[in-house]
Structure 1
Amino acid sequence: MSCVHYKFFSELSYDTVIFDGLHISLSDLKKQIMKKEKLKATNCDLQISNAETKEEYSDDNALIHKNLSVIVRRIPVGGVVSTSRTYVLDLTKQVSRTSKAKVFYLQKCLYICMEVEL
Protein backbone atom coordinates (compact mmCIF):
# COMPACT_ATOMS: atom_id res chain seq x y z
CA MET A 1 0.00 0.00 0.00
CA SER A 2 1.21 3.47 -0.92
CA CYS A 3 0.15 6.83 0.45
CA VAL A 4 0.21 10.57 -0.13
CA HIS A 5 0.27 12.95 2.83
CA TYR A 6 -1.89 16.04 2.49
CA LYS A 7 -2.91 18.99 4.57
CA PHE A 8 -5.07 21.98 3.94
CA PHE A 9 -3.18 25.27 3.78
CA SER A 10 -4.72 26.48 7.05
CA GLU A 11 -4.13 23.22 8.95
CA LEU A 12 -1.08 22.24 10.97
CA SER A 13 -1.13 18.46 10.69
CA TYR A 14 -1.09 16.12 7.70
CA ASP A 15 -3.63 13.44 6.86
CA THR A 16 -3.09 10.46 4.55
CA VAL A 17 -4.68 9.05 1.40
CA ILE A 18 -3.91 5.37 0.81
CA PHE A 19 -3.83 3.80 -2.67
CA ASP A 20 -2.34 0.88 -4.61
CA GLY A 21 0.62 1.39 -6.93
CA LEU A 22 3.58 3.73 -7.21
CA HIS A 23 1.57 6.87 -7.99
CA ILE A 24 -1.94 8.30 -8.12
CA SER A 25 -3.44 10.66 -10.68
CA LEU A 26 -4.28 14.17 -9.57
CA SER A 27 -7.98 13.65 -10.31
CA ASP A 28 -8.09 10.46 -8.21
CA LEU A 29 -6.24 12.18 -5.36
CA LYS A 30 -8.74 15.05 -5.42
CA LYS A 31 -11.67 12.60 -5.38
CA GLN A 32 -10.24 10.70 -2.41
CA ILE A 33 -9.51 13.88 -0.45
CA MET A 34 -13.01 15.24 -1.16
CA LYS A 35 -14.55 11.94 -0.07
CA LYS A 36 -12.45 11.77 3.10
CA GLU A 37 -13.15 15.42 4.00
CA LYS A 38 -16.84 15.14 3.00
CA LEU A 39 -16.60 17.95 0.45
CA LYS A 40 -18.98 18.29 -2.49
CA ALA A 41 -17.56 18.71 -5.98
CA THR A 42 -20.37 21.13 -6.83
CA ASN A 43 -19.25 23.63 -4.16
CA CYS A 44 -15.50 23.75 -4.59
CA ASP A 45 -12.47 22.42 -6.39
CA LEU A 46 -9.11 21.55 -4.88
CA GLN A 47 -5.84 23.24 -5.78
CA ILE A 48 -2.95 20.92 -4.96
CA SER A 49 0.73 21.83 -4.76
CA ASN A 50 3.90 20.06 -3.69
CA ALA A 51 4.67 20.89 -0.04
CA GLU A 52 8.44 21.03 -0.62
CA THR A 53 8.82 22.62 -4.06
CA LYS A 54 5.57 24.66 -4.05
CA GLU A 55 4.91 23.36 -7.61
CA GLU A 56 1.20 23.54 -8.38
CA TYR A 57 -0.35 20.53 -10.11
CA SER A 58 -2.86 21.66 -12.74
CA ASP A 59 -3.17 18.69 -15.12
CA ASP A 60 -5.74 16.18 -13.82
CA ASN A 61 -3.72 13.40 -15.47
CA ALA A 62 -0.52 14.35 -13.62
CA LEU A 63 0.89 11.55 -11.51
CA ILE A 64 1.59 12.16 -7.82
CA HIS A 65 4.26 9.79 -6.52
CA LYS A 66 3.83 7.77 -3.35
CA ASN A 67 4.99 9.19 0.00
CA LEU A 68 4.77 12.76 -1.32
CA SER A 69 3.44 15.59 0.86
CA VAL A 70 1.04 18.07 -0.74
CA ILE A 71 -0.76 21.25 0.30
CA VAL A 72 -4.46 21.50 -0.54
CA ARG A 73 -6.48 24.68 -0.99
CA ARG A 74 -10.23 24.85 -1.53
CA ILE A 75 -11.24 27.18 -4.35
CA PRO A 76 -14.74 28.05 -5.60
CA VAL A 77 -15.91 26.08 -8.64
CA GLY A 78 -16.20 29.24 -10.74
CA GLY A 79 -12.70 30.34 -9.77
CA VAL A 80 -11.68 33.28 -7.66
CA VAL A 81 -13.26 36.61 -8.54
CA SER A 82 -10.76 39.42 -8.91
CA THR A 83 -11.33 42.39 -6.60
CA SER A 84 -9.32 44.79 -8.71
CA ARG A 85 -11.27 46.92 -11.13
CA THR A 86 -10.09 48.88 -14.14
CA TYR A 87 -11.75 52.12 -15.15
CA VAL A 88 -11.00 53.82 -18.45
CA LEU A 89 -11.56 57.56 -18.73
CA ASP A 90 -11.30 59.67 -21.87
CA LEU A 91 -9.38 62.73 -20.71
CA THR A 92 -9.32 64.43 -24.12
CA LYS A 93 -12.98 65.52 -24.24
CA GLN A 94 -14.23 68.91 -23.06
CA VAL A 95 -16.53 68.57 -20.07
CA SER A 96 -19.15 70.98 -18.77
CA ARG A 97 -19.30 72.09 -15.12
CA THR A 98 -22.36 69.93 -14.42
CA SER A 99 -20.57 66.91 -15.88
CA LYS A 100 -17.54 67.64 -13.70
CA ALA A 101 -19.79 67.77 -10.65
CA LYS A 102 -21.36 64.44 -11.62
CA VAL A 103 -17.94 62.85 -12.10
CA PHE A 104 -16.76 64.18 -8.74
CA TYR A 105 -19.90 62.80 -7.07
CA LEU A 106 -19.48 59.40 -8.76
CA GLN A 107 -15.81 59.23 -7.79
CA LYS A 108 -16.72 60.05 -4.20
CA CYS A 109 -19.39 57.31 -4.19
CA LEU A 110 -16.96 54.84 -5.77
CA TYR A 111 -14.33 55.65 -3.15
CA ILE A 112 -16.85 55.11 -0.34
CA CYS A 113 -18.05 51.84 -1.90
CA MET A 114 -14.48 50.57 -2.20
CA GLU A 115 -13.82 51.33 1.47
CA VAL A 116 -16.95 49.42 2.48
CA GLU A 117 -15.84 46.35 0.47
CA LEU A 118 -12.43 46.30 2.12
Structure 2
Amino acid sequence: IGESSASVSLAQLIQTADLTQVNASEEDKIKAVMIQSCLQYDPINYMKKLPESYTCFHCGQPGPHIRNCPTVGDRNFEPVPRIKESTGIPRSFLTEVEDPSTKGAMVTQTGTCAIPVINAEAYGKGKKEKPPFLPEEPSSCSSDDPVPEELLCPICKEIMTDAAVIPCCGNSYCDECIRTALLESEARTCLTCHQTDVSPDALVANRFLRQ
Protein backbone atom coordinates (compact mmCIF):
# COMPACT_ATOMS: atom_id res chain seq x y z
CA ILE A 1 0.00 0.00 0.00
CA GLY A 2 1.55 3.28 -1.03
CA GLU A 3 1.45 6.58 0.79
CA SER A 4 -1.80 8.54 0.66
CA SER A 5 -3.14 11.70 2.18
CA ALA A 6 -5.80 9.79 4.13
CA SER A 7 -4.72 7.93 7.26
CA VAL A 8 -5.08 4.15 7.13
CA SER A 9 -7.29 2.48 9.75
CA LEU A 10 -5.95 -0.11 12.21
CA ALA A 11 -7.95 -2.88 10.51
CA GLN A 12 -6.19 -2.09 7.21
CA LEU A 13 -2.81 -1.90 8.92
CA ILE A 14 -3.20 -5.43 10.27
CA GLN A 15 -3.65 -6.71 6.70
CA THR A 16 -0.62 -4.76 5.42
CA ALA A 17 2.70 -6.57 4.98
CA ASP A 18 5.02 -3.52 4.76
CA LEU A 19 4.01 -0.95 7.36
CA THR A 20 6.86 1.40 6.49
CA GLN A 21 5.08 2.54 3.34
CA VAL A 22 1.76 3.28 5.04
CA ASN A 23 0.49 6.71 6.07
CA ALA A 24 -0.40 6.08 9.72
CA SER A 25 0.70 7.10 13.19
CA GLU A 26 3.55 5.26 14.88
CA GLU A 27 1.22 4.12 17.67
CA ASP A 28 -1.14 2.45 15.15
CA LYS A 29 1.79 0.83 13.38
CA ILE A 30 3.11 -0.60 16.67
CA LYS A 31 -0.34 -1.94 17.51
CA ALA A 32 -0.58 -3.52 14.07
CA VAL A 33 2.83 -5.18 14.47
CA MET A 34 1.86 -6.62 17.85
CA ILE A 35 -1.41 -7.98 16.48
CA GLN A 36 0.31 -9.44 13.39
CA SER A 37 2.89 -11.21 15.56
CA CYS A 38 0.12 -12.98 17.50
CA LEU A 39 -2.03 -14.02 14.53
CA GLN A 40 -0.15 -17.30 13.97
CA TYR A 41 -0.88 -18.31 17.58
CA ASP A 42 -4.62 -17.74 17.25
CA PRO A 43 -6.50 -20.79 18.67
CA ILE A 44 -8.57 -20.96 15.48
CA ASN A 45 -5.45 -22.17 13.65
CA TYR A 46 -5.22 -25.20 15.94
CA MET A 47 -8.89 -26.18 16.13
CA LYS A 48 -9.81 -29.30 14.19
CA LYS A 49 -12.59 -28.87 11.70
CA LEU A 50 -15.52 -31.18 12.30
CA PRO A 51 -16.38 -33.51 9.41
CA GLU A 52 -19.72 -33.06 7.67
CA SER A 53 -20.85 -36.43 9.01
CA TYR A 54 -20.14 -35.42 12.63
CA THR A 55 -22.85 -36.38 15.12
CA CYS A 56 -23.05 -35.00 18.63
CA PHE A 57 -22.25 -37.68 21.22
CA HIS A 58 -24.76 -36.18 23.66
CA CYS A 59 -27.94 -35.60 21.66
CA GLY A 60 -27.18 -37.81 18.64
CA GLN A 61 -27.99 -35.01 16.18
CA PRO A 62 -25.67 -33.66 13.43
CA GLY A 63 -24.48 -30.16 14.12
CA PRO A 64 -22.26 -28.40 16.65
CA HIS A 65 -19.60 -29.97 18.84
CA ILE A 66 -20.70 -31.53 22.13
CA ARG A 67 -19.25 -28.51 23.98
CA ASN A 68 -21.80 -26.30 22.21
CA CYS A 69 -24.70 -28.75 22.39
CA PRO A 70 -27.79 -26.99 23.83
CA THR A 71 -28.86 -30.17 25.63
CA VAL A 72 -25.76 -30.24 27.81
CA GLY A 73 -26.77 -29.28 31.34
CA ASP A 74 -30.44 -30.04 30.73
CA ARG A 75 -31.45 -32.39 33.56
CA ASN A 76 -34.62 -33.46 31.77
CA PHE A 77 -32.73 -34.61 28.66
CA GLU A 78 -31.59 -38.22 28.50
CA PRO A 79 -28.36 -38.63 26.51
CA VAL A 80 -28.36 -41.05 23.60
CA PRO A 81 -26.50 -44.23 24.60
CA ARG A 82 -23.23 -44.38 22.70
CA ILE A 83 -22.05 -47.74 21.32
CA LYS A 84 -18.30 -48.23 21.24
CA GLU A 85 -16.43 -49.58 18.24
CA SER A 86 -14.58 -52.90 18.39
CA THR A 87 -11.39 -51.37 17.02
CA GLY A 88 -8.29 -53.41 17.86
CA ILE A 89 -10.15 -56.57 18.98
CA PRO A 90 -9.69 -59.60 16.67
CA ARG A 91 -12.88 -61.11 15.24
CA SER A 92 -12.04 -64.46 16.82
CA PHE A 93 -12.37 -62.80 20.24
CA LEU A 94 -15.88 -61.46 19.51
CA THR A 95 -19.34 -63.00 19.65
CA GLU A 96 -22.07 -61.42 17.51
CA VAL A 97 -25.32 -60.33 19.17
CA GLU A 98 -28.57 -59.16 17.58
CA ASP A 99 -29.65 -56.66 20.23
CA PRO A 100 -27.48 -53.47 20.24
CA SER A 101 -28.63 -52.80 23.82
CA THR A 102 -26.88 -55.96 25.04
CA LYS A 103 -24.50 -55.20 27.89
CA GLY A 104 -20.98 -54.61 26.55
CA ALA A 105 -22.10 -54.56 22.88
CA MET A 106 -19.81 -52.87 20.36
CA VAL A 107 -20.10 -52.03 16.68
CA THR A 108 -17.82 -54.00 14.35
CA GLN A 109 -16.36 -52.79 11.04
CA THR A 110 -19.11 -54.62 9.17
CA GLY A 111 -21.82 -52.76 11.09
CA THR A 112 -22.92 -55.69 13.24
CA CYS A 113 -22.96 -55.74 17.04
CA ALA A 114 -20.73 -58.03 19.06
CA ILE A 115 -19.32 -58.48 22.55
CA PRO A 116 -15.95 -59.95 23.58
CA VAL A 117 -16.06 -63.70 24.21
CA ILE A 118 -14.57 -63.36 27.68
CA ASN A 119 -17.25 -60.80 28.61
CA ALA A 120 -20.00 -63.08 27.30
CA GLU A 121 -18.76 -65.90 29.52
CA ALA A 122 -18.55 -63.57 32.53
CA TYR A 123 -22.06 -62.19 31.96
CA GLY A 124 -23.35 -65.77 31.64
CA LYS A 125 -21.86 -66.89 34.94
CA GLY A 126 -22.80 -63.74 36.80
CA LYS A 127 -21.19 -62.39 39.92
CA LYS A 128 -21.29 -64.67 42.93
CA GLU A 129 -21.18 -63.05 46.34
CA LYS A 130 -21.19 -64.76 49.67
CA PRO A 131 -23.83 -63.57 52.12
CA PRO A 132 -22.45 -61.67 55.11
CA PHE A 133 -21.90 -63.37 58.45
CA LEU A 134 -21.72 -66.79 56.82
CA PRO A 135 -19.74 -69.26 58.97
CA GLU A 136 -16.34 -70.01 57.53
CA GLU A 137 -15.83 -73.31 55.82
CA PRO A 138 -13.48 -75.67 57.63
CA SER A 139 -9.97 -75.72 56.29
CA SER A 140 -8.94 -78.66 54.12
CA CYS A 141 -5.86 -79.28 56.23
CA SER A 142 -6.57 -80.97 59.56
CA SER A 143 -5.11 -79.60 62.78
CA ASP A 144 -4.49 -83.19 63.90
CA ASP A 145 -1.74 -83.69 61.30
CA PRO A 146 1.55 -84.38 63.09
CA VAL A 147 4.26 -81.72 62.94
CA PRO A 148 7.69 -82.98 61.79
CA GLU A 149 10.08 -83.35 64.71
CA GLU A 150 12.77 -81.26 63.00
CA LEU A 151 10.43 -78.26 63.28
CA LEU A 152 9.88 -78.67 67.03
CA CYS A 153 12.01 -76.87 69.59
CA PRO A 154 13.71 -79.38 72.00
CA ILE A 155 13.05 -77.00 74.90
CA CYS A 156 9.41 -75.85 74.53
CA LYS A 157 8.31 -78.75 72.29
CA GLU A 158 6.48 -76.25 70.02
CA ILE A 159 7.14 -75.20 66.41
CA MET A 160 10.35 -73.19 66.48
CA THR A 161 10.00 -69.42 66.42
CA ASP A 162 12.98 -67.51 64.97
CA ALA A 163 14.98 -70.76 64.74
CA ALA A 164 18.61 -70.38 65.82
CA VAL A 165 21.56 -72.80 65.62
CA ILE A 166 23.88 -73.31 68.59
CA PRO A 167 27.49 -73.58 67.31
CA CYS A 168 28.73 -76.30 69.68
CA CYS A 169 26.56 -79.20 68.42
CA GLY A 170 24.61 -77.61 65.56
CA ASN A 171 21.15 -78.21 67.06
CA SER A 172 18.35 -75.71 66.46
CA TYR A 173 16.02 -74.13 69.02
CA CYS A 174 13.71 -71.18 69.34
CA ASP A 175 15.99 -68.17 69.59
CA GLU A 176 14.31 -67.00 72.79
CA CYS A 177 14.31 -70.50 74.36
CA ILE A 178 18.01 -71.25 73.88
CA ARG A 179 19.08 -67.70 74.66
CA THR A 180 17.13 -67.76 77.96
CA ALA A 181 18.50 -71.21 78.86
CA LEU A 182 22.11 -70.08 78.34
CA LEU A 183 21.61 -66.91 80.35
CA GLU A 184 20.02 -68.79 83.25
CA SER A 185 22.83 -71.35 83.29
CA GLU A 186 25.80 -70.28 85.43
CA ALA A 187 28.29 -72.16 83.21
CA ARG A 188 26.49 -71.25 79.94
CA THR A 189 25.92 -74.98 79.32
CA CYS A 190 24.39 -76.36 76.11
CA LEU A 191 21.29 -78.46 76.86
CA THR A 192 22.15 -81.07 74.22
CA CYS A 193 25.92 -81.67 74.27
CA HIS A 194 26.50 -80.06 77.72
CA GLN A 195 29.42 -77.95 76.50
CA THR A 196 30.11 -75.00 78.77
CA ASP A 197 30.96 -71.37 78.09
CA VAL A 198 28.61 -71.09 75.08
CA SER A 199 27.87 -67.39 74.53
CA PRO A 200 24.33 -66.36 73.49
CA ASP A 201 25.99 -64.02 71.00
CA ALA A 202 27.38 -67.03 69.15
CA LEU A 203 23.89 -68.19 68.09
CA VAL A 204 23.33 -68.18 64.33
CA ALA A 205 19.95 -67.75 62.63
CA ASN A 206 18.73 -70.92 60.89
CA ARG A 207 17.26 -69.28 57.79
CA PHE A 208 16.25 -72.58 56.23
CA LEU A 209 14.00 -73.53 59.17
CA ARG A 210 12.67 -69.98 59.45
CA GLN A 211 11.50 -70.10 55.85
| Bigger relative contact order, structure 1 or 2 (CA pairs below 8 A, ≥6 apart) | 1
In terms of fraction of residues, the more strand-rich structure is: 1
Larger radius of gyration: 2
Compute the TM-score of the two structures, normalised by the length of structure 2. 0.16
Compute the TM-score of the two structures, normalised by the length of structure 1. 0.24
